[in-house]
Amino acid sequence: MERTFVMVKPDGVQRGLVGEIVSRFERRALKVTGMKMMWIPRELAERHYEEHRDKPFFEPLLSYITSGPVVCMVLEGENAVSVIRTMMGKTNPQDAMPGTIRADFAQATGRNLVHGSDSPESARREIKLFFNDYELHEYQKPEEDWLFES
Ligand code: DAT
Ligand code: MG
């Protein structure tokens, strides 16, 4: 099983889309192993997005992501990183496929509702940035026997 870090960004919280977005992951039987609301401090936002430090959109990105509370999650499933990236859709919602979160609910790159790690390495880094061990939970769900061939 693979774990990935997902965040409903401030626009998703403000627009009341937390339930809709979490519901899509739950319906797909991805397992929520951590979840919390937080208002990201600027220093954490800078570390999270450090790969973009030299990009022209870095400052607007930081002010967007720190503009209100977000909901952070760790989700687990087979190939969870790429499965969730596909469910989110392209970075620019105007290029995202219908049926993806970004295409269905968003219109602008700078207000694209969700974050999801782009590789297993990024996932490990981001999970560590946002969660303590005691906030992550291993548990069994009764439907697990019906999700995968053994
Ligand atoms: P993603 O969030 O799909 O992984 P990314 O890591 O390239 O995309 O960029 C992080 C965020 O930065 C993205 O969700 C929105 C913003 N962003 C990316 N490219 C941008 C651009 N060209 N103009 C404005 N904002 C951009
Ligand atoms: Mg990214």
Which residues lie closer than 8 Å to 97 by C-beta, 6 or more apart? Answer: 89, 90, 103
Concerning whether 115 is annotated as a catalytic residue, the answer is yes
List Cα–Cα distances, 138 to 15, 36, 133, 148, in angstroms: 31, 16, 11, 18
Render pLDDT for 44-55 as a digit per residue (tens, 0 to 9).
999 999 999 999
CATH fit for domain 2-137, picks 3.40.720.10, 2.40.400.10, 1.25.40.20, 3.30.70.141: 3.30.70.141
pLDDT value at 150 more than 80:
no
CA of 143 to the centre of ligand 1 (A): 36
How is the chain split into domains, by residue range?
2-137
**Distance (Å, whole) CA 61 – CA 66:** 9
Here the tokens at position 116 are: 């999801």
The predicted pLDDT at position 55 comes to: 98
Render pLDDT for 136-147 as a digit per residue (tens, 0 to 9).
999 999 988 899
CA of 52 to the centre of ligand 2 (A): 9
Do 53 and 70 contact (CB within 8 A), yes or no?
no
Ligand 1 pocket: which of 61, 87, 115 to mutate (most atoms within 8 A of CB): 61
Render pLDDT for 11-22 as a digit per residue (tens, 0 to 9).
999 999 999 999
Render pLDDT for 64-111 as a digit per residue (tens, 0 to 9).
999 999 999 999 999 999 999 999 999 999 999 999 999 999 999 999
Render pLDDT for 60-69 as a digit per residue (tens, 0 to 9).
999 999 999 9
Q: 3-state SS of the chain?
A: CEEEEEEECHHHHHCCCHHHHHHHHHHCCCEEEEEEEECCCHHHHHHHCHHHCCCCCHHHHHHHHCCCCEEEEEEEECCHHHHHHHHHCCCCHHHCCCCCHHHHHCCECCECCEEECCCHHHHHHHHHHHCCHHHCCCCCCHHHHHCCCC
Ligand 1 pocket: which of 102, 109, 115, 125 to mutate (most atoms within 8 A of CB): 109
The predicted pLDDT at position 148 comes to: 87
CA of 106 to the centre of ligand 2 (A): 17
Q: Which ligand is nearest to the CA of 9?
A: 1
Pocket around ligand 1 at a 6 A CB cut-off: 52, 57, 61, 91, 109-110, 112, 115, 118
CA of 149 to the centre of ligand 2 (A): 32
